[in-house]
A = this chain, B = another copy of it.
């Protein structure tokens, strides 16, 4: 009978407990599962989030896998005590939520809804936006989330360019890779969406030079990772008008400190890391599927390549 340690924020346990036991039972797996399970050397799996008390994996000598509850793993991959397979969360609910946030905010900017809301003043000034087919959007990052967002935007007729470090193919999307492709992808973007993983190669990718390569007056959406952006360079680009607006869901420090200039900047919208929340009902099923595979001797899904960092 496998022992599964739930090593995540205590507040998550009541949200996950019922769903995890439900899916274990559906999978015919009798297991012990709790946030506290006795000796580390008896644990088979850890359901994990980086905010957990468990930071040293050395005592977990029998561990088969660490199953992360989040898509982002940059706070786990550097942990040198972790020697067993690490799986990220690839959850349908998480992808759906991200697509909804991205499409919603792309259309908000495309239709200039902020302007509409700020001008309920009795003056009838029809200002018809261009069609989406004339509004190029670029998505940086073509993993599960980036590819899903790029396809949803393409389905609404936006001409979508996607860029990833290694070459990808996404139906309906112009896919570029390599540094040369990045320059092209930035140059054509009227709206830019950041969905890259955070790695040493992507940290501060949106620096002054790259912000300058965007279509003048571009819109920036960052539901990916805060540290993809050089904050000072972004503030300068907003002040110069090179970036017309930034809608940011992720930040270098979260919660974003109340005194951070993003909160009060008239061209910045802050959303509190809600674009892609793991939903317990769908995520629990993904975790249990990996436990089922581990017990059946099958390869785990959604494994992190620790050399690449994602």
- Give the residue name and chain of the B residue nearest to A279 (CB): B131
Q: What is the CA–CA distance of A123 and B155 in the complex, to the nearest angstrom?
A: 35
Q: What is the CA–CA distance of A103 and B116 in the complex, to the nearest angstrom?
A: 16
Tell me if A100 and B131 are in contact (CB < 8 A).
yes
Kindly state whether residue A136 has any CB partner on chain B within 8 Å: no
Within residues 74 to 130 of chain A, which ones have a CB less than 8 A from any CB in chain B? Answer: 93, 96-97, 99-101, 103-105, 107-108, 110-111, 113-114, 116-117, 120-129
Kindly state whether residue A297 has any CB partner on chain B within 8 Å: no
Tell me if B256 and A124 are in contact (CB < 8 A).
yes
29 pairs of residues in contact across A and B, judged by CB atoms under 8 Å: A97-B129, A99-B156, A100-B107, A100-B131, A100-B132, A103-B107, A104-B104, A104-B110, A107-B108, A108-B108, A116-B271, A117-B269, A120-B264, A120-B270, A121-B263, A122-B258, A122-B263, A122-B264, A124-B256, A125-B272, A126-B273, A126-B274, A126-B277, A127-B274, A128-B274, A128-B277, A129-B274, A152-B155, A152-B156
Residues of B within 8 A of A96 (CB): 131-133, 157
Question: What is the interface residue range for chain A against chain B?
Answer: 35 or more
The listed residue with most B CB atoms (<10 A of its CB), out of A107, A155, A274, is A107
Kindly state whether residue A28 has any CB partner on chain B within 8 Å: no
- Select which of B107, B122, B277, B279 is within 8 A of A107 by beta carbon: B107
Tell me if A114 and B111 are in contact (CB < 8 A).
no
Q: What is the CA–CA distance of A277 and B126 in the complex, to the nearest angstrom?
A: 10
Report if A255-B124 is in contact (Cβ < 8 Å); known contacts: A96-B133, A269-B117. yes
- Give the residue name and chain of the B residue nearest to A101 (CB): B111
Tell me if A123 and B277 are in contact (CB < 8 A).
no
A contacts, CB < 8 Å to B: 93, 96-97, 99-101, 103-105, 107-108, 110-111, 113-114, 116-117, 120-129, 131-133, 152, 155-157, 254-256, 258-259, 263-264, 268-274, 277, 279
Q: How far is the CB of A232 from chain B (nearest CB, A)?
A: 19
Q: How far is the CB of A276 from chain B (nearest CB, A)?
A: 9
Tell me if A131 and B93 are in contact (CB < 8 A).
yes
The listed residue with most B CB atoms (<10 A of its CB), out of A93, A96, A104, A255, is A104
